[in-house]
Structure 1
Amino acid sequence: MPADQDPATNPNSAYYLSNHDLNASKLVSIVFDGKCFNDWKRSMVIALSARNKLCFVDGSLNQPAANLANHRIWNRCNDLVISWMMSSLEPSISRSVLYLKTAREIWLDLEERFFHSSGPQLFSVQQKLCDLSQADDE
């Protein structure tokens, strides 16, 4: 991208906002209510990636310093991603993250509170398979 081109006008830039982006109040049909976090997260990842905004939640695009040219547009995009996230959260969950400043902070907070590793489930399935295997050997 040429140095003098505004990243907000480049469709390949994370700072680009289409009319569709600006008019979309919801990105995903799933409203996260505290259950099935992995389903909600996957839906959000797909939707954000399709709009080239995943970088606002995965930490790959940090907030520019206040004195840099992209600071205002970064804040605008971050706020849009936050609004998309908030509209996909059940009201009590939405209120619990309302005062976090970045989409990344909200993402990490939700992951910390609601992400559950499937390790115990995997162990249980492996144990059942082992039991079946032993029963077949008898």
Structure 2
Amino acid sequence: MVVEEGKSGEGKKGNGSKTIEQIDLYSPLYLYPSDSPSLTLMQITFSGENYDLWADAVQNGLNAKNKLGFVEGAVKKVSVTEGEEETLDSVVWRQCNAMIKAWLSNVIEPRLHLSITFSGTVIKVWKELKEHYSTGNAPRVHQLKSELNDCKQAKNQSVVEYYTRLKAI
């Protein structure tokens, strides 16, 4: 994740040259200059009742930013033991974690912010939201199947509108 480049008159490492650490452009730890805490990943705001739709949109947005691994657990926290100097990876991991938490806050209704404020890492926030709001339970599945069964196209409804309603269910 860290790329080292030698800096010297000849462009080679050694003989008094300095080493500069950089984050690889394709690393999930890389933050682009356009990334900011005020960024909105998508237009859907989580209200507490639309978790599945919201989560899918957030995952799509994070995937586009190469940050999906933070919520899926693929990008592990880079820890530093007490007394050791922080590495570039540990500093950048903390920055990315904070940035993604800010992005999530931007697409969650303010009344729900306290539920994520003190969670720490993004993966903890993601797991807590999924645990509390995901609709993967039997009563909800039954409710959706009933809605699907009862769904009929209204006389003044276009095929596109009807199809969209079916897809939503």
| TM-score interval, smaller chain | 0.7 to 0.9
Two-structure CA RMSD over aligned residues (Å): 2.5
Q: Deviations over 1:14-67 (max 9, x none)?
A: 011112223752111111111111110011000000010001111111101215
What is the 5 A alignment of 1:1-138? 4=4, 6=21, 8=23, 10-22=24-36, 24-66=38-80, 67=84, 69=87, 70-117=89-136, 119-121=141-143, 124=146
1:135 paired residue number: none
- Matched residues, percent identical? 25
Q: How many residues align?
A: 127
Q: Which has the larger radius of gyration?
A: 2
Identify if the C-alpha distance between structure 1 residues 31 and 122 changes in structure 2 by more than 3 Å, giving closer, same or farther: closer
Inter-partner Cα distance in structure 1 for 2:90 and 2:79: 6
Inter-partner Cα distance in structure 2 for 1:95 and 1:16: 28
Inter-partner Cα distance in structure 2 for 1:96 and 1:4: 40
Inter-partner Cα distance in structure 2 for 1:41 and 1:61: 18
Inter-partner Cα distance in structure 1 for 2:143 and 2:22: 45
Q: Which consecutive aligned stretches of 4+ in structure 1 deviate over 3 angstroms post-superposition?
A: 121-126
TM-score (norm 2): 0.66
More displaced, 108-117 or 60-69?
Answer: 60-69
Which sections of structure 2, spanning at least 5 residues, go unmatched? 6-20, 150-169
Structure with greater strand percent:
2
Inter-partner Cα distance in structure 2 for 1:7 and 1:50: 21
TM-score (norm 1): 0.79
Structure with greater helix percent:
1
Which fold has the larger relative contact order, with Cα–Cα distance below 8 Å and residues 6 or more apart in sequence? Answer: 1
